[in-house]
Amino acid sequence: MRHFLRNSLTLARKEWISLLRDVFMLGFVVYSFTFSVYSQATGISHELRNAAIAIVDEDRSTLSQRLASSFHGPEFQTPATIGHAEVDPAMDSARYTFVLDIPPDFEADVLAGRSPVIQLLIDATAMMQAGIGAGTIQGIVDDEVGRFVRREADGSAAPVSLQVRVAYNEALDTKWFTGTMSVVSNITMLAVLLAGAALIREREHGTLEHLLVMPVRPAEIMAAKVLANGAVILGLTLVALYAVLRGLLSVPLAGSVPLFLAGTALYLFFATALGIFLGTVARSMPQLGLLFILIVLPMNMLSGGFTPLESEPEWLQLAMQLSPSTHFVAFAQAILFRGAGFDVVWPRFAATAGIGALFFAWSLARFRRHLASFR
């Protein structure tokens, strides 16, 4: 056992030196945990921002103009005024996501209490904006028209009041979510890639074979790779959490970071073992890249870090329970967003460790066979 540890550590040290000298890979890893996290967090916004809206004003009244001027940044671009004939081509080419059609005599009808109808055309192919935008526009129109007829929107008439509180992220700031989830998904991607590449590099350079003529066991070689690459990822995760998320993006980390890191360490056993497994299947780095696209990318996308798991078909949700990445995403969200403690997340930890250990053992067996079948 002492021997095992010493050999593994010796080999792990060698892995670190190798990684330090591999400028391309090192650059890619550092980029993934810093710049890439930042750009993903600030890039895609799930909020309504800068939405393109046009107005067909057939009324040309004070009210219609007041309506037009009530759409402004940051949610909306300044509305364009277009004619009826332009509506179809403009929406067909996705120039506007929303078109508000104010009918003739709108103001007069409002004042007469005839409750006229305004039409809002929504480009329902712009999924992310269409839903949120429609609600926002509804609110703006109600407010503006209400204010115009000098009647407050009639909240007091409701028999039951509703108090809605959004927990954990009150302002619904999307960069909390996208930033944190990009750290989580990069942990998976980079751990697999680093471990797989480390194996393939040794095989291509013939050094793996060289190790095998020395008093070193396959388990020690694999342990060294898991240990060395896992530690690098864990260290960079810490940087990403504190420097990028908390520092640059001011995302609060709700729960215990040590607890999250402990869980990540458990998960890394699985992720690096998966990398080594793929490394035994792929004959070269480009093949590893292609396998990565076919296996790791889907696994990552379906784990609930991008879109909610419950939106997937039932069978897929069940199947994804077999992947530790799903549990990893779940406990990451629980700890980092909701401040959950060990009492809450332990079942996820157990699942990650259990499935991870099985896969690790299987991977090791395959690695042994792979070394044995060496040419």
Nearer to another protein, 207 or 358 (CB): 207
Strands 80-81 and 98-102: unpaired
Taking the complex as a whole, the smallest distance from the CB of residue 126 to another protein amounts, in Å, to 5
* Contact residue for another protein among 236, 330, 351, 364 (CB under 8 A): 330
Report the alpha-carbon distance of residue 188 to residue 317 in Å, rounded.
19
| Token representation of residue 194 | 């680093």
Q: Which one, of 2, 3, 17, 87, lies nearest residue 228 by Cα?
A: 17
- Between residues 152 and 247, which has the closer beta carbon with respect to another protein? 152
Q: Which amino acid would we find at residue 239?
A: V
Identify the three-state secondary structure at position 51: strand
Which lies closer to another protein via its Cβ, residue 197 or residue 269? 197
Write the binding mask 344 to 373 for another protein: x where contact by CB under 8 A, - elsewhere: x---------------------------x-
Residue count at the site for another protein (CB under 8 A)? 129
Among 12, 55, 56, 110, binds another protein (CB under 8 A): 110
Residues 116-145 binding another protein (CB under 8 A) are 116-132, 134-135, 137-138, 141-142, 145
Instruction: Find out whether 251 and 175 touch, Cβ atoms under 8 Å.
Output: yes
- Subset of residues 5 to 64 that bind another protein, contact rule: CB under 8 A: 6-7, 10-11, 13-14, 17-18, 21-22, 24, 28, 43-47, 49-52
| Per-residue binder mask for another protein (CB under 8 A), 202-231, x = binder | ---xxx-xxxxxxxxx--------------
Q: Cα separation of 193 and 28, whole Å?
A: 11
Q: Which of residues 259-318 bind another protein (CB under 8 A)?
A: 283-287, 289-291, 293-294, 297-298, 301-302, 306-308, 310-313, 316
86-101 in b/e form (b: 16+ CB < 10 A) is bbeebbeeeebbbbbb
Q: How far is the CB of 9 from another protein (least distance, A)?
A: 9
Q: Describe the strand order of the beta sheet including 53-57 as a list of residue ranges.
A: 80-81, 53-57, 98-102
Continuous segment of H or E residues that includes residue 100: strand 98-102
Considering only residues 146 through 175, tell me which ones interact with another protein, judged by CB under 8 A: 146, 148-149, 151, 154, 157-170, 172-174
